[in-house]
Structure 1
């Protein structure tokens, strides 16, 4: 039986209660443990270790959430690393920070444009759903039966009178 992070925390010391293992973390985020290890290999995650096992604290889980969110909207792992390196303080050179800032500003512009596109498409789909609801509410309930009766009449017209059951 798989234990959840909530039940696991009951057996931990207070300072470890918010720490999860790799399996619990993967389950929570609905990803594989292999994906987590891959992000670690790429330098995106650096969970601590206890007794040779990965331990994910609140900060690790927040970081993983950022990684997964960025992946969902189309960022490459390299793009994500560029962002995380700055947030981690790994980049301190002023020129490099300015270069990345310029790059981030361009990304912000593209994201805002995508958001507008998403809002327009979502509105179009919402309108279409309302049209479908209206059609279903106002469509004659006998419509399906009328179609079935017309099909049956057409089918019978092609049969010999002797084969039509009474």
Structure 2
């Protein structure tokens, strides 16, 4: 179950006109934090991202299931079910007993996994490989949209930070 403040942050993102993936990012961040706190482990950064996206869909974020061919049919079906659940659809439910048992088993399995999947290095590697799979035009369009939703003060702060970084790098390369 996502924390209240995570849901609140995702709603704030939606009000600010940010994309569904940005809203879902709040849930992914929460999942990484949970693993880092030692609540459970993950096999990889990809798994932590997948758990976060599932929680986001179930919380009502309008995140489309992955396109055919991107992942297995089972994953797409699961994503579609999570999406439906997040939009108030009544799904066929297993008995409460088996549901509780499954939840308990999943938690136990995750507890035995490593915490390394949520390390900053693992997260960075995952982000880089995910970005590398996207064409440059797509990355550029996302950056332009992000700049638009930032607001004047945010753009100004980002420009100042970029200028400072450039100056520091120029200084560093001279030595």
TM-score (norm 1): 0.23
Which structure is richer in relative contact order (CA contacts within 8 A, separation 6 or more)?
2
Larger Rg: 1
TM-score (norm 2): 0.23
